[in-house]
C-alpha cells in the first residue's frame, strides 16, 4: 500500500508529536546504506533526513556508503545483519544483486526498507518490507509526455537520453518511462553510458550531440546528466530542449534561466527521514512499514523552481 500525500503529511505530524514528548534515548539501532560515495551531493538531504529522524526517535544511526560496488554493498548488508541491528535502510540499486543478503536480513528479524532505488519488480522482486522513493518509471513517462507536448516532438524524431549507470535500477526505470512515452509517438531514443564524473559526463554528452545533429531533445536520467546537460548543449553549439531529474544548484539555475525545461524532484530528505522513522515505529510499537511515494507533484518547471532553491542541499 502506498501513502497518499495527505497520509504522508499525517505521518509527519505524528512524528512531530512523538518527538515533542521527550528527548528519546537511542534504543533502536539502524544502518543506512547508500550505493554511491559521499561526494555525490544528491544524498546530502537524504542523510540529513535520516539524522533528523534518528534524533527525534532515539535511533543509533550508522550511515555507510557502498561506492557503487555491489560486493561492498552486500558486505555492508551482511555486516549489519551480523551486528543484529534493528533496521536497515538500503538503496536497492540493482534488481538482482542484493536479493539474497536482504532476504537473509529479513529472515533474521531485521526491518529492511528500500529507499531512493527499488527492485524493478517492487515487493515481488525483493524481500524488503517497504520502499520510500519516487515511482521512477512513472516519472520518466510523465517527463517524456510533457516534453512531447511542449516541444512538438513527433514521429521520426530522435531524442538523446544519456544514463550515468545504465544497468542501475533508477536508470532502467526512468529511462524505460521515457522510452515508453517516445515509442507511443514513434520517436527513437538514443542512449550512452555517461558515468558519474560530471566533467566526463558533460564531454561525452556534448560529443554525442556534435556527432548527431538530428537529435531533437535531451533527457537527463539522474543528478549528474541533469546537472551538466545545459553545459553539454552549450558546448555542442546546439539549441534543443532539455529536461531531467533531481535537484542541484546548477539544475535550479538552468530551469530558472530557461536553459532547462523542467526537472523531476524526488524529495530526497523524505527518502532519508521516513525509512528511519518507520524502523523506529516498527521496533517500538509494532507498526508495519509502508511504501511512501516521494515523487508526487514532483514536476518543477520555471514557474515552480525558485521556491525550492533556498533548500538545496538540506531539505531538497
pLDDT for 294-312, tens place per residue? 998 789 999 999 989 999 9
pLDDT for 207-252, tens place per residue? 999 999 999 999 999 999 999 999 999 999 999 999 999 999 999 9
Which cell numbers hold the place of 181? 512515452
Do residues 212 and 157 make contact, with C-beta atoms less than 8 angstroms apart? no
> Do 287 and 210 belong to one domain?
no
In a domain, 257, yes or no: yes
> Do 129 and 10 belong to one domain?
yes
The gap from C-alpha 53 to its chain's centroid, in whole angstroms, comes to 19
Do residues 101 and 70 make contact, with C-beta atoms less than 8 angstroms apart? no
> pTM for this one?
0.87
Count the alpha carbons within 13 Å of 271 in the hemisphere toward its beta carbon: 31
Tell me the Ramachandran region of residue 135: left when phi exceeds 0, alpha when psi lies from -120 to 50, beta otherwise.
beta
> Do 110 and 7 belong to one domain?
yes
Which strands, in side-by-side order, build the sheet including 87-90?
2-3, 291-293, 130-133, 111-115, 87-90, 28-34, 59-65
Residue 233 maps to which CATH number?
Answer: 3.40.50.2300
> Do 40 and 157 belong to one domain?
no
pLDDT for 104-121, tens place per residue? 999 999 999 999 999 999
Give the largest CA-CA distance in the chain: 62
Q: Please compute the mean of the pLDDT values over residues 182-199 and round it to a whole number.
A: 97
Which cell numbers hold the place of 59? 535511533
In a domain, 15, yes or no: yes
Q: Using DSSP bridges, classify how beta strands 28-34 and 262-264 pair: parallel, antiparallel or unpaired.
A: unpaired
Q: Please compute the mean of the pLDDT values over residues 263-273 and round it to a whole number.
A: 97
> Do 15 and 97 belong to one domain?
yes
pLDDT higher than 60, residue 196: yes
Q: CB-based burial of residue 44 (10 Å sphere; 0-12 exposed, 13-18 middle, 19+ buried)?
A: middle
> Do 14 and 116 belong to one domain?
yes
Which cell numbers hold the place of 34? 547508500
In a domain, 316, yes or no: no
* Secondary structure E strands in the chain: 2-3, 28-34, 59-65, 87-90, 111-115, 130-133, 158-160, 188-190, 215-219, 242-245, 262-264, 291-293, 299-301
Q: Number of helices (H) and strands (E), helices first, in the chain?
A: 10, 13
pLDDT at 12: 53
Domain with 180, as residue range(s), is 136-264
Do residues 95 and 50 make contact, with C-beta atoms less than 8 angstroms apart? no
> Do 128 and 83 belong to one domain?
yes
> Do 128 and 37 belong to one domain?
yes
> Do 15 and 103 belong to one domain?
yes
Q: Could you give the number of structural domains in the chain? A: 2
Amino acid at each position: 500500500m502506498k501513502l497518499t500525500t495527505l497520509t504522508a503529511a499525517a505521518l509527519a505530524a505524528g512524528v512531530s508529536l512523538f518527538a515533542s514528548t521527550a528527548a528519546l534515548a537511542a534504543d533502536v539501532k539502524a544502518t543506512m546504506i547508500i550505493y554511491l560515495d559521499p561526494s555525490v551531493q544528491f544524498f546530502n538531504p537524504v542523510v540529513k533526513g535520516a539524522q533528523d529522524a534518528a534524533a527525534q526517535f532515539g535511533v543509533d544511526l550508522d550511515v555507510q556508503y557502498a561506492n557503487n560496488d555491489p560486493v561492498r554493498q552486500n558486505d555492508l548488508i551482511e555486516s549489519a545483519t551480523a551486528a543484529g541491528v534493528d533496521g536497515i535502510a538500503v538503496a536497492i540499486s540493482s534488481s538482482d544483486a542484493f536479493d539474497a543478503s536482504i532476504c537473509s536480513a529479513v529472515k533474521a528479524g531485521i526491518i529492511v526498507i528500500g529507499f531512493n532505488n527499488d527492485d524493478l519488480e517492487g515487493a515481488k522482486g525483493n524481500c524488503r518490507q517497504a520502499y520510500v522513493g519516487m515511482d521512477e518509471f512513472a516519472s520518466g513517462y510523465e517527463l517524456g509526455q510533457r516534453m512531447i507536448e511542449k516541444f512538438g516532438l513527433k514521429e521520426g524524431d530522435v531524442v538523446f537520453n544519456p544514463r550515468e549507470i545504465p544497468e542501475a535500477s533508477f536508470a532502467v526505470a526512468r529511462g524505460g518511462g521515457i522510452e515508453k512515452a517516445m515509442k507511443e509517438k514513434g520517436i527513437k531514443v538514443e542512449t550512452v553510458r555517461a558515468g558519474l564524473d560530471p566533467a566526463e559526463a558533460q564531454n561525452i554528452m556534448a560529443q554525442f550531440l556534435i556527432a548527431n545533429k538530428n537529435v531533437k531533445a535531451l533527457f537527463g536520467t539522474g543528478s549528474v546528466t541533469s546537472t551538466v546537460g545545459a553545459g553539454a548543449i552549450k558546448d555542442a553549439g546546439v539549441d534543443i530542449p532539455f529536461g531531467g531529474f533531481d535537484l542541484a544548484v546548477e539544475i535550479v539555475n538552468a530551469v530558472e534561466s530557461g536553459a532547462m525545461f523542467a526537472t523531476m524532484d524526488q524529495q530526497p530528505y523524505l527518502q532519508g527521514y521516513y525509512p528511519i522513522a518507520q524502523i523506529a515505529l516498527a521496533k517500538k510499537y509494532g507498526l508495519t512499514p509502508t511504501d511512501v511515494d516521494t515523487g508526487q507533484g514532483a514536476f518543477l518547471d520555471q514557474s515552480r523552481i525558485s521556491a525550492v532553491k533556498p533548500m538545496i542541499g538540506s531539505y531538497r
